[in-house]
Chain A
């Protein structure tokens, strides 16, 4: 499935993550900024990629600014952004 329009979800509050989605011509890509990047950066990226894979999303750029979100929040914000981007998840 392809993103229909750019979208965003989340906040910059602590324990949250701000996610922006853009169409990308070159497959799926994640650009992550995180206050805990050293420790959890890879895990956050893995969660994002696994959600994209689960819903067969292709060609999307995910820009994420993490403020210490737990896994459930990362999934929820990404799913919200995908829905807002016109994808039926």
Chain B
């Protein structure tokens, strides 16, 4: 059973204090970052620190490593140093068909899965091909900041400039049964903005949201978790479905509303997610 991915917290790979506390932030996954949050002079130090942290601790949350891009001089070293460790995913920045193919080859004989970061205009257009190119590739994340640089537009809180990328990538991911994570909300002091942006991402079909600050995790987890009211309603739908089956009914109604297959499927998905959240807290 795949794990829930409501929240993914970026942790700078050269920060010992945050690495050693990775488990306490309540994020479903943590991303140890070797890329943007690490200066060029410290790439070697971050790689070694992350490696030693992974050897020293058995983290409960899902572990993802964002390595440096395929065309950088650090890419090969990152993979060579880390592929023997206990990692769930490698997050590949600026993913392309070529880079995913290369990474998959380097990860042969390991259990490490690939998650791609789509953050270029070309990446958005090629997302379906990238995601379907390799069976080691299980999901994607939208990188809004870099994409806006590539699009030559300003990143705003309303996110209108990302509408096309968000909807296109959600459609690609869902068509291929992959998970999809939304770009971080970068103003860490704007809690209302984070709530709005998270709800918006959920409404479009995202499975979770990336975060750059631990204080954002509670809000993100709450938005991407089913509410008690939703769980109760889903349970009633399942119960009504079971009763209808016993009576040989194909279509039935609940509270005066017709219940058909998509609604039942949604209720089942919601119950399954609630169970996973429950399991993750045990």
A76 touches B52 (CB 8 A): yes
- Inter-chain CA distance A80–B49, complex, in Å, is 9
Complex Cα–Cα for A13 and B12 (A): 14
Interface of B is mostly: helix
- The reply to whether the CB of B56 lies closer than 8 angstroms to some CB of chain A is yes
Does B16 belong to the interface (CB within 8 Å)? yes
**Docked CA distance A80–B81 (Å):** 13
Q: Nearest Cβ distance between residue A21 and chain B, in whole angstroms?
A: 14
A14 at the interface (CB under 8 A from B): yes
A63 in contact (CB, < 8 A): no
B188 to chain A, nearest CB (A): 19
Bound state CA distance, A84 and B48, in angstroms?
Answer: 12
Known: A72-B53, A72-B55, A72-B56. A16 touches B48 (CB 8 A): no
B side interface size, CB within 8 A: 14
Residue A83 lies at the interface, judged by CB distance under 8 Å to chain B: yes
Contact B56 A84 (CB under 8 A): no
Query: In the complex the two chains form, is A72's CB within 8 Å of B45's CB?
Result: no
Chain A 64-78 interface residues, beta-carbon cutoff 8 Å to B = 69-73, 75-77
In whole angstroms, how far apart are the Cα atoms of A76 and B19 in the complex?
Answer: 13
Q: How far is the CA of A1 from the CA of B223 in the complex (A)?
A: 55
Judge whether B17 is part of the interface by a CB distance below 8 angstroms.
yes
Asked if B20 CB lies within 8 Å of chain A CBs, one says yes
Q: Which residues of A contact B55 (CB under 8 A)?
A: 72
Cα-based distance from A83 to B15 in the complex (angstroms) = 19
Report yes or no: A70 in contact with B16, Cβ–Cβ below 8 A: yes
Given contacts A72-B52, A72-B53, A76-B52, contact A83 B20 (CB under 8 A): no
Chain A to chain B contacts (Cβ below 8 Å), 26 pairs? A10-B45, A13-B15, A13-B16, A14-B17, A15-B16, A15-B17, A15-B20, A16-B16, A70-B16, A70-B20, A72-B16, A72-B53, A72-B57, A73-B20, A73-B49, A73-B52, A76-B16, A76-B45, A76-B48, A76-B51, A77-B45, A79-B48, A80-B45, A80-B49, A83-B44, A84-B44
For the A-B complex with A71-B56, A79-B52 known, give 7 more contacts whose Cβ atoms are closer than 8 Å.
A13-B15, A13-B16, A69-B16, A72-B20, A73-B20, A77-B45, A77-B49
List the 5 closest A-B pairs by CB distance, nearest first: A15-B17, A72-B56, A76-B52, A73-B16, A76-B49
